[in-house]
Amino acid sequence: MSRTAIWAIAVPFAIFLAWTGKIVYDANTGEVVSLAIKGFDPRDLLSGHYLRYRVEWGGPSCAGTSYGEAHCICLGQEKPAQSVWAGSCEELPEICRTYIRGVCQAGQFDAELERYYFPEEWRGKLVTVPDKATVQVSVTKSGRATVLGLSVADKPLGDWIKSAP
C-alpha cells in the first residue's frame, strides 16, 4: 500500500481533529459574556431540537452597512452585555476590551450565535424562547464567539426546565 493512500485517510482526520480542537480551545479560554436574546420566527422545523433567537444588542449593530460586510460589535461591561460601538473591524476603537466579529445581513448582525441545541425531552417546555433568556458565550481576543449555555432569569436552562410548570 502506498504512503499517499495512508495520507489520504490520515490527513482529513488530522484536519478535523485540529478544527475541533480550535473550537474546544476557543470555548474554554475566551472571556464569558452574557447576551440578552429574544425568540425568532420562523423556526426551522426540519432541523431537530434547537431554539433560534436573535441577540438583543441593545445599542448600535448594523445600521448603514452593506449586505455581508465584515463587522465588529464592541461590548460594554453590563450584564447582559450591550453593544457600545459597531462598525468595520478595521476601525475598532483601541479601548474596546471585548468585541464580537461577524457579518451584517439584512440589517441583522450575524455572529453565528443564534442557535441553541437542547435535549429532546425538553421539547414540550421549549416551544419558544422563554422570556428573560440570556445566552452565555465565550469570546476570544480575536472576536470569535462560541455559545456555552443558555439561562432564563439567571437560572441555567436545565434548572429552569425542572422548575417550569
**Which residues sit at the interface with another protein, rule CB under 8 A?**
1, 5-13, 15-17, 19-20, 23-24, 27, 50, 66-69, 103, 105, 110, 112-117, 119, 121, 146-147
For residue 123, give every residue at least 6 positions away whose Cβ sits within 8 Å of its Cβ, in sequence order, or none: 49
CB of 96 to another protein, least distance (A): 23
Q: Which residues pair with 32 in a beta bridge?
A: 138
> Which is closer to another protein, CB of 6 or CB of 77?
6
Name the residue nearer to another protein (CB basis): 19 or 141. 19
Verify cis geometry, omega within 30 degrees of 0, for the bond prior to 60. Answer: no
Nearer to another protein, 19 or 127 (CB): 19
Closest distance of CB 40 from another protein, Å:
11
Peptide bond into 42 cis (omega under 30): yes
Of 25, 35, 37, 26, the residue nearest 144 (C-alpha): 26
Element (H, E) at 116: strand 115-117
Least distance from C-beta 134 to another protein, angstroms? 14
Measured from the CB atom, the residue of 54 and 76 that comes closer to another protein is 54
Minimum distance from residue 65 beta carbon to another protein (Å): 9
Do residues 30 and 143 make contact, with C-beta atoms less than 8 angstroms apart? no
Q: Which is nearer to another protein, 31 or 76 (CB)?
A: 31
- Cell numbers found for residue 41: 420566527
Cα angle 33, 37, 39 (rounded to 5 degrees) comes to 155
Provide the minimum distance between the beta carbon of 152 and another protein in the complex, in angstroms, as a whole number.
Answer: 16
Decide the pairing of beta strands 83-87 and 99-105. Answer: unpaired
